[in-house]
Amino acid sequence: MIPIAISTNVEGGGEYAQAVSLAGGAPRLLAFDPESLDAQLDGAGGVLLCGGGDVDPGRYGGAPELAAEIDPQRDEFEFALVRRARQRGLPTLCICRGLQVANVAFGGSLFADIGAAFGVPTAERHRRTRSGQAERGLIAGHEVNVDAGSLLARIVPKSPIATGSRHHQSIATVGADLAVVATTSDGIVEAVEARFASPFWLGVQWHPESTLELDGGAANAIFAAFVGAARGVRAATAAG
């Protein structure tokens, strides 16, 4: 099985590790230690950046009072991680916070809070709760419209995609090295792809790891394409 480097604060990797395993990858959990980044990536076929707390608004000129659960150590590590993965040509999948990290790392900015920027109704569509907990399944009305011809459209040909969602921040200005390829009808950026050369690079704002059995195969297709690209890169490297 192809090793997939996973950056998350979820113990054991949770649903992220499970989704990678189901797609044929071998999860390798990373420590938030920039000094050992290269050693941790050695032998990995791909990189997965996962959900979590907010990116420090100081990194993009945002409002600090609107952010929560900031982890400076994780920020430092994951900014270095997404850049190093690009340098190494590693297939990369970024989910929720991971997409936001990548966007800021490549020069973009975020809305520090969707409610403050777009209003409460929009915020509720992107972070619905049940019994005080964020909804982990599909959210009615949270459908992602995908640009034809994009990598995401090739992976999941059917658009719109029914998805889940649990975030209060989103992309404001997209990084120069990234391209927006999917949005919701209320204007929230839901997926970005690389403008730079890469065997596979995709960032999604929703949580496909939580909807593997709920969305008609879209989430499974995303993880299968990611792990498949990692397998192809490792095979090409071994052959060369």
Structure tokens given for 131: 């019994």
CA distances from 214 to 57, 94, 121, 128 (A): 34, 20, 24, 17
Alpha-carbon span 228 to 161, nearest angstrom = 21
From the candidates 15, 78, 96, 126, give the one annotated as an active-site residue: 96
Largest CA distance in the chain: 54
Q: Which amino acid is at 240?
A: G
167 is an active site residue: no
126 is an active site residue: no
**3-class secondary structure, 96:** coil
From the candidates 15, 78, 193, 209, give the one annotated as an active-site residue: 209
207 is an active site residue: yes
Ranges of beta strands (E only) in the chain are 2-7, 25-29, 46-49, 92-95, 110-111, 129-130, 133-134, 143-146, 161-162, 170-171, 178-183, 189-194, 201-204
Q: Please state, as a whole number, how many other Cβ atoms lie within 10 Å of the Cβ of residue 182.
A: 27
Catalytically active residues are 96, 207, 209
